[in-house]
Structure formats: C-alpha cells, structure tokens
Chains A and B, each alone.
Chain A
C-alpha cells in the first residue's frame, strides 16, 4: 500500500488561516491502514483544528467526511453536492488523492494533510517499510521475491557490492543488505542457480526517470 505519515498540526493550521469553512476529507484505504488519514484521524484532526480556532477567537466550520478512496471519480462524486459550501479542503489521502480531488473540484483549494512516503508493507503495527519503487519492469521472479531496486541502496542487479557487514548495508546499520536477503532466500528455496543467471541491462524508461507514466488498457476502456 501507499504509506503516509501525518503532517504536523501546526503546518496544517498554517495552510488554513484564511479559511472559514473547511472540509477534512479522509480516505478509507491505504492511509487508514497506516493510521494517518482514516476516519479516526480525520476526527482527531478536525477536533484539534476546531479547538485551535476557538482558542484564537475565530469562527470556523469544520466538517468531516471519509470516502472510500480519493483516486476514483465515483467516490469523489459523493461530495459533489456539498463541496460548494467549503472554501478549503484538507485531504488526508495520499498525494494521488489530494491531486485527484483538486482536479475534480478545481475551484476549491485542496491542501495535503499527510506526507506521502512510499509503497510498502506493515511489518508490525506502527512500523511500515518500503518494498517497491514502481520501476515498471518487475524482476522479482529472478531474485527470490526480494526487490533490489527498492531495497538495495545501489540498485544492483547481479549480486552484492561487497560493502555489507553482517548482512547490513554500508549506508546504515539498520538497513538489510538486499542481496544478502536474496541469496539467503534463494538458498532456502534451493534455487541458487537463479543467482548465477545474469540480469540484462534494465530499461529504465518505465521508471520515473522516463517522465510521468501511464497504463493504458484499451481492452477495458469504454
């Protein structure tokens, strides 16, 4: 999922200082799982913003809505009838949601309420780590399902660099050496011969380096 972290409340207060009718819009998917932008966090943020405004003597109306997700028009349409009463939206969705909401409602300022970080998984509650960087050409089949693009600091494709110590990367002792993990996994799967096969030069044009990307499926387009 997309992992995000809550923005400091002071920063959000700064965005909203000239607004009087605010909608705090949450998302029921990734940001709910990483406890940054779901219904609960929307409630807490809205309450904090209301109290701060009242303390400053300001009259503000702050409403709370959480929709299924903010990256699909059908869910954003649910607020179409009520959006005009607000002069600002704080979207607690990932960067995608914030932008897409703004595209659907281009006359209302949409501010981000979380910092979007990476694509990752929940290792345990309160710990989310990066696993994928969306390079567009998945090679997990040859590396025992461990990604050297996301997890190797040098994004090496054909084995370790030799800088690791005790299975940890030389950049940071808390980071595992991806290639150590790959070799251990291939050994456990009894597929070390995969390691011997050379990975050809990668086509990076499908990575972000090639510019903003799209996926087109003509067979499902209407």
Chain B
C-alpha cells in the first residue's frame, strides 16, 4: 500500500487532543495543509474526542479563511484504524488538493523577502 511521502504524521492518542492552536501552529511553521484523521464518528475510542476535533477543525478553517491562508487547507477525515487503503486514499486526496492550492502563502512572502 503506497501513499505520498510528503505527509508528516504526528501521532496523538485521540484526535480530541488536537486543539485549534496546534493546527494554527502547523501553518505558522510553514505547513501547506493539515489533515486531522480520527476514528469514525460514533466509534471514538474515548467517546467523543473525534467530534470535538471536528468542531475545532471548523473553527480553525474560519480563522484561516479570515487571515487569507485558506480554510480548505485544513480538513478532518474519519476512518477506522483497520482501513489501510482508505488512509492511502485520503493521503493522496489531500496531497492533490494542496498541490492545487499551492504552497502556504506565508512561505511565498518569506521567499520574496529573502
């Protein structure tokens, strides 16, 4: 099973651990996109962590839209931990989407300034 190599995986015990600030910091440090991948809704190992994560991703999307980075760069995906091929599919999907959107606008300005 193959998936794009440009995905950096950060493991968390539950997507409920992911907060808005973590998503924001990823973009601040130059990430072109952020995918929050959690359990299927209704099957969270810790009850409702993935539901909270979804809300937080939506909050982050709004803020990213306001400041001009683009909310489409952050997305939430749900899958079961046994669905390997689906993970590969999502990884490919987000990679394609980000390639279309282009690099993080912060990095473009930094390169211009350099």
Contacts and interface: CB of A to CB of B under 8 A. Distances in A.
Interface SS majority for chain A: helix
Contacts of B67: 9, 13, 48, 51-52, 55
Nearest to B113: A57
Given A51-B24, A51-B27, A54-B109, A44 B63 contact: yes
Nearest to B112: A57
Interface in A112-166: none
A167 interface: no
Interface in A35-68: 40, 43-44, 47-48, 50-52, 54-57
Contact of A56 (B21, B25, B28, B109): B109
A55 B68 CA distance: 8
A50 B105 contact: no
Contacts of B110: 54
Interface residues of B, number: 18
B6 to A, nearest CB: 21
Interface residues of A, number: 16
Contacts, number: 45
A44 B109 contact: no
Interface of B: 19-21, 24-25, 27-28, 63, 66-69, 105-106, 109-110, 112-113
Contacts of B21: 40, 43-44, 47
A54 B106 CA distance: 6
Contacts of A13: 67
Interface of A: 8-10, 13, 40, 43-44, 47-48, 50-52, 54-57
Contact of B24 (A8, A47, A55, A56): A47
A52 B28 contact: no
A10 B66 CA distance: 7
Contact of A44 (B24, B105, B112, B113): B24
Given A43-B21, A44-B21, A51 B106 contact: yes
Contact of B28 (A10, A40, A51, A57): A51
A104 B106 CA distance: 36
A48 B67 CA distance: 7
Given A43-B21, A51-B27, 10 more contacts: A40-B21, A47-B21, A47-B24, A48-B24, A48-B63, A54-B109, A55-B67, A55-B106, A55-B109, A57-B113
Contacts of A55: 67-69, 105-106, 109
